[in-house]
Amino acid sequence: MLHDKSHSRVTAAYIAPFLIFVAVMTIEKSFALPGVYWYPLRFVLTLAAILLLSRPYISFRPSAPLASVMIGIAVLIIWVAPDQLFHYRHHWLFENSITGKATSSLPTDLQGNTVFLILRCISSFALVPVLEELFWRGWMMRWLIDRDFLKVPLGKYDTGAFWIVAVLFASEHGPYWEVGLAAGVIYNWWLVRTRNLADCILAHAVTNTLLCGWVLATGQWQYWL
């Protein structure tokens, strides 16, 4: 019984922040609720879950920090360069009834709300990399190998688990699924290479930080779905 409780607690540490973030976002979008109120709620609840549940299981000590930064930069280039060079995003393969459209759900009034934008950026580079890496590569890549995922070392390679996680990671990015797939493959590979989730968190944080800068500098809000 004690083992079961301990295992459940560790599992919650890996998956709860992601599930809370997605649940609040789904409610917000499904009922067209005002983001100015709901995004801060999403931020606070997710941060609380990370601090109260996940923090003991997170390492912020990358084994290859410089390489992780370069990986993050490379993913950012992969994310935005195709659109800028080839302008294909509105093709039916990327915009359809399943993937949605590459348009931002951010209301125009919030695009000029400084407090909201600061909160959104902090969430993008400080919370999202943590909750996504915990869920996708910290938990699911191992859980797909063995339901008792703690028996599986971080970064253990399994073809099925590797590609399932990459495809699911791609699917959560809607009309950006193809660059999401590329990012998922790269982040998965980086975990296999480093066997250190902190390296993936750092790479992901660099990507998201630079994407925030790109969005704010160019006004291309569609990257914030």
Tokens (6 digits) for 109: 């009034």
What whole-number distance in Å separates Cα of residue 41 and Cα of residue 25?
10
The answer for residues whose C-beta is within 8 angstroms of residue 70's C-beta and 6 or more apart is none
Which backbone phi and psi does 100 adopt, to 5 degrees?
Answer: 85, -170
| Whether residue 5 has pLDDT greater than 70 | no
Longest alpha-carbon distance in the chain: 57
Rg (CA), the chain: 17
List residues bridging with 100 in a β-sheet: 96
pLDDT band at 28 (very low <50, low <70, confident <90, very high): confident
| Whether residue 182 has pLDDT greater than 50 | yes
Supply the pLDDT for residue 68: 98
Supply the pLDDT for residue 3: 58
Q: 62: which DSSP letter?
A: -
Burial 138-158 (b: 16+ CB within 10 A, else e): bbbbbbbbeeebeebebbbeb
pTM, full prediction: 0.95
Supply the pLDDT for residue 2: 40
What whole-number distance in Å separates Cα of residue 129 and Cα of residue 187?
11
What whole-number distance in Å separates Cα of residue 31 and Cα of residue 119?
22
| Whether residue 1 has pLDDT greater than 60 | no
In angstroms, the Cα distances linking 114 to 38, 110, 211, 217 are: 16, 8, 17, 14
Q: For residue range 149-176, list pLDDT tens digits in order.
A: 999 999 999 999 999 999 999 999 999 9
Supply the pLDDT for residue 46: 97
pLDDT band at 133 (very low <50, low <70, confident <90, very high): very high
Average pLDDT over residues 86-115: 90
- Cβ proximity of 132 and 18 under 8 Å: yes
Higher pLDDT, 36 or 53: 53
Q: How does DSSP assign 115-159, residue by residue?
A: HHHHHHHHIIIIIHHHHHIIIIIIIIHHHTT-SSGGGSPTT---H
| Whether residue 23 has pLDDT greater than 80 | yes
